[in-house]
Structure 1
Amino acid sequence: MKSIDPNDFKVTEKIKLSKIPTLLKVNGDDDDKIEKLDKVQSKLSKQQDTMYAHNRYGVLICLQGMDTSGKDSLIREVFKEFNPRGVVVHSFKTPTSTELEHDYLWRHYMALPEKGKYAIFNRTHYENVLVTRVHPEFILAENLPEIETVEDIPKDFWKDRIEQINNFEKHISQNGIIVLKFYLHLSKEEQRQRLLRRLEKEKHNWKFSLGDLKERGHWDEYQEYYEEAINKTSTKDAPWYIVPADDKEMARYIVAKIIWEVMQKHTDIKEPELPEDIQENIGIYKKQLENES
């Protein structure tokens, strides 16, 4: 199987989602992909331990994609080797009453990673320019000044939100958070097949929701708004990567490999050295502990 080059998936110019494949054809079967993922998992886990000791960076992994695109299973498989203290997953659903008492980015600020840790956003702050755009009536729950009805939403409202998101990501990246954003690019036909499997296999029935079918009816709108958001927010500080998602095993490997390659560029991440006075007296401390027995 050929090596994965992150630049093949990174958005550096204007894209058209309909022109980007949802399936990456490679030599090798699922076992090959799983084996490669296992190797990257192990390296990422060790690197995260070093980052934890270094204590200067946090990593924010943003996952977006249509329903059934594989976000949950990707998180489970890519990060399962991590020390639990080093990674926290946040799934952003409908805002709570408490969250609605603050601006729409507040809950995302509150979930940012501590230094030395990873935070994974399973659905992200981009829901605020995706779901709310498909369903603008959701904006009314935010109780914003001068917006009483959908018709009151200003013409530049979404443009302003995208600019706010860019500023948010620039701010956190300049303060030590490495931001990586992944769009799991699923075909409509593959989504249909995955929804059918949820209905046909009893053990997967619980995953099915009528809301999945409702949102599927807005497929074209979501594609349009995803495309616009990605084109306007893929920056040097917070790049987007479009990952073909029709093959779950391949998508997981691609995401893991991209994270690994990006983290290798941060050559300053090293375990701290012991102070000289401690290094000079290691023998004394060792003898003291040995004598206790």
Structure 2
Amino acid sequence: MTISPFDDSLSSEVDNPELIPALDLNALARFAAVVELGGFSPAARALGVPRQSLHRSIAQLEQVTGVRLLDRGARQVRPTDAGRRLFGHAATILREARDAHASLRAARGRPRGRLRLTAPHLFAEQFLIPLIEEFLTTWPEVQIDADFTVAHSDLIRDDYDLAIRLGDRPTHGRYVVMLGSVATVCCVAPAYLAAAPPLADPQALSRHSVLAYGPHRVRHTWRFERAGETVEVDLAPRLRADSARLVLAACRAGLGVARLPEFLCAGDVGAGSLVPVWVDWQIPRTPIWVLYSSRSDKNPTLHAFLDRLKAHLLARM
């Protein structure tokens, strides 16, 4: 990473009380999205704003702080050392703003009634189950009807209040909000490595047994990035399943190369039963989206649940 010669001045300038009124909260939010998603284009899509508007916001922040915040490569944007520190401040400010918004919502209406939601199995197991238990305990007048599946249900037709999706930004749903992102890793069992052809680079995947986690009838294209270079490999998986734990078990058994959420396979990697491959290549993080319809927008139970979900993810990711 290239470090700006101006980076060392950020901490003293940001701590200057005279600068605080000049920092635009909207600009901070946009800066945080660019850093989190790794570029202006994905951040513009996530926020629903023109790319040029993001460039202007970041330029204004850099002018106000007097330091360069981003290293802008041909294909990837990375925060400078100063940018990383400002990102930490921005995350704190935005969290406080969300908490303030949540307190206003709580004053507007008490959560009660039934909330219908759908989410992928793995995400639900990792993040939603403890949250749902806590939410039901806090709000005894709430009932939750939850379906855990990778199938993409229609909110209106299937009568859901909210749906959680991982991957590309959903194209339907009146309101679509990004909650965060999940790190992904490619891994294999040592026994597979010993018997299979060399895994010199991602292009070699076409000569290997691939184990894919995802829904039915979805094109399996794995993307890798390194120093401005991007490689996309179209695959015909030997195993495709909507159960990440089945794919993990097959990978442990030495049946092929799997791409899985880092939180799921971290224990196996730490124990040595799985080995990460191509650590010098980055796999784009998988965005987490929540979508809901205009019908649900005024539902205080939905918004209380979303506020708790955002706080829960922030603490655990």
TM-score normalised by L of structure 1? 0.28
Larger strand proportion of the pair: 2
TM-score normalised by L of structure 2? 0.27
